[in-house]
Amino acid sequence: MDQVTRPVGTQESPPAPTPNKKRRAFPWGWLLVPLLLGGVGYVGYRLGQDDASSAATAGGGFGGAGFGNSGSAAGGAGQGSSGQAGSGRGTQGRTASGQAATGQAAGGQAGTGSAAGSRTGAASGAAGAGTRSGRSSAGGAGQTSGGSGVTTPVQATTVQQGTLRTERRLTGTVAAAQETTVSARTSGTVSRIAADVGSSVSAGQTVLALSNSDLNTSVESARNALETAQVQLRSQTNSVQSQRAQLQQQVSAAQTTLANAQQSLAALQKLAAIGATSRTELNNQNAQVQAARTTLTTAQANLAENTRAQTEGLAEARLAVQRAQIALNQAQAAADAVRVTAPFAGQVTGLNVSEGQYLTANSPAFTLVSSQRQVAVNVPATEAGTLPVGAALTFVVGQQKYPLKVAQNAAAPTGGSVPIVARFTEASPPALGTVGSVVYSAKVASGVLVPSTALQADNDQTYLFTIENGQAQQQEVNVLGQAGTQSAVSGIDAGSEVITQPPTGLLDGASVTTASSSRQRGSAAGPGAGGPPPGGMP
């Protein structure tokens, strides 16, 4: 290998400067690129806002693109003519945030765009502006039905035929079922008072007793007269029966004598026909027959007279006995009337006498109210017919309830109402004078039962909205009656779906949806249909 020999002490001199070489300039282009990109992004943002507004009006949808923190531009989502998605992507690397944007289209389709950034990023499709965080700034129009108009959410219920009833409450006061003033049936001195004021007595119980000696004498006289009449009847009956037996025997004997005489006469007549007997003997026998016939007639007359005497005479004797018995009963009743008793079970509320006082017949002795309680109420004439005798009611005092049954229904109205009397059925009714409420169920009307909130009024017209094929249908109805939160109407069919609370301004034929139908549509469309993009709303 050849070696190059250099002279000792010789030094290498530096290269000579190139003649006319310029000094490096400042990179102004790199400084202008971020500024240019920022300007383009701002203009795109403004254009995206305007396009989003027009898209909301026309039912279109936009997607937004991201804008990188490093200041690079991003591609935006394209606009579809019927809600189809358009997309754009940056040509070079992703931005720091790199979020995907979603817009809602008129037909329910979404336009999407993937945000990407580069220093020279370009977008395909309609440009939308991105925010600094990379999220979409474009939105869609509200929910519509196939682009034909707004669908209003409503609440609805299925109505049925029925009877509308209501609870009536009428004020009533407890009173006694019976109240009377008992009078003495006879005169006498009050010898004993058996029940004081406020005492409870049973039916037939003695409240006070009178003393009258004349009544006892009258009873004895009447009893003696009855016994005398009874003796006369028995004596006359025996006499008639004895005579009747004798007369019947006499009639029988006369009948036998007549029969024998007639047989002898017949025999003599046969002998006289052959000349075996004399005319004188035949005439004598004829005389005997006539005598026997007369005897029989007399006996029969005597028997008939006996029969008449038995019929008339004994009847008179029996009548005398009956009159004597009546006199005795009256005397006994007068004697028993010294006991003034309670005609029914109840409570003594007043005494008009005191012991030792003389009381004339038919004078008030005491006042009695029955233990049975009742309530009298005036029921509207239109409802009285639904409360016949025996119908169940309830008497309410505070928290206590007492069962009642209708005992009297006058049926005829008085002053627009019908008085009805109801009696307590339990053994422990409330006290007299207690004020409470008489409660019963009254029929208002029969028809299709709808919520009262569903009814709308326009002058003299009443209507409601039903749902048919997803549209509100206005239907005029006739209100038959109202009670509480329900109304009975005619004019619609049972089974109709009625909007319970129509929104203000709801029109006939408007598109409506219920909570149940919305859930069904969401389930049929699948997850994410018509809703926000995965990851939540931007």
DSSP 100-143: EEEEE-TTS-EEEEE--EETT----SS---B-TTS-B---PPPP
The CATH number linked to 360 is 2.40.50.100
Last residue of a domain, one of 369, 385, 415: 369
167 within some domain = no
Q: Are residues 218 and 185 in the same domain?
A: no
Whether residue 279 sits in one domain with residue 226: yes
In a domain, 18, yes or no: no
SS (H, E, C) 318-341: HHHHHHHHHHHHHHHHHHHCCEEE
Q: Is the CB of residue 180 less than 8 Å from the CB of residue 367? A: yes
Tens of pLDDT, residue by residue over 87-120, are 333 333 333 333 333 333 333 333 333 333 333 3
206 and 282 co-located in one domain: no
Tokens read off for 511? 């598109």
Of 92-106, 164-178, 384-398, give the lowest mean pLDDT range: 92-106
- Residue 24 is predicted with a pLDDT of 56
Task: Give yes or no: residues 258 and 331 share one domain.
Answer: yes
Full domain range(s) for residue 259 = 213-336
The answer to whether residues 332 and 342 belong to one domain is no
Assigned domain for 266 exists: yes
Same domain for 199 and 289, yes or no, is no
User: Which of 278-282, 309-313, 387-391: highest mean pLDDT?
Assistant: 387-391
Residue of 472, 488, 470 whose CA lies nearest to 480: 488
CATH of the domain at 520: 2.40.420.20
* Mean per-residue pLDDT of the chain: 74
Same domain for 321 and 299, yes or no, is yes
Here the tokens at position 493 are 């069919």
For residue 82, tell me if it sits in a domain: yes
Please indicate, yes or no, if residue 492 is contained in any of the structural domains.
Answer: yes
Dist. CA 516–CA 513, nearest whole Å: 8
- Looking at the fold, whether 113 and 185 belong to one and the same domain comes out as no
Q: Specify which of 19-28, 299-308, 413-422, 480-489 reaches the highest per-range mean pLDDT.
A: 480-489
Distance CA 494, CA 472 (A): 17
**pLDDT value for 153:** 93
| Residue where a domain terminates, one of 318, 336, 354 | 336
Percent of the chain with pLDDT over 70: 69
For residue 45, tell me if it sits in a domain: yes
Of the residues 336, 360, 391, the one at which a domain ends: 336
Instruction: Say how many domains are in the chain.
Output: 4
Digit-coded pLDDT (tens) for 29-73: 666 767 777 776 666 656 555 544 443 333 333 333 333 333 333
Q: How much of the chain exceeds pLDDT 90, in percent?
A: 36
For residues 323 and 361, state if they share a domain.
no
Examine the domain organization and report whether 218 and 106 are in the same domain.
no
Residue 91 lies in a domain: yes
Is 298 a member of any domain?
yes
Separation CA 49–CA 72 (nearest Å): 20
Residues 246 and 343 in one domain: no
Same domain, 205 and 237: no
* Rounded Cα gap, residues 86 and 49, in angstroms: 17
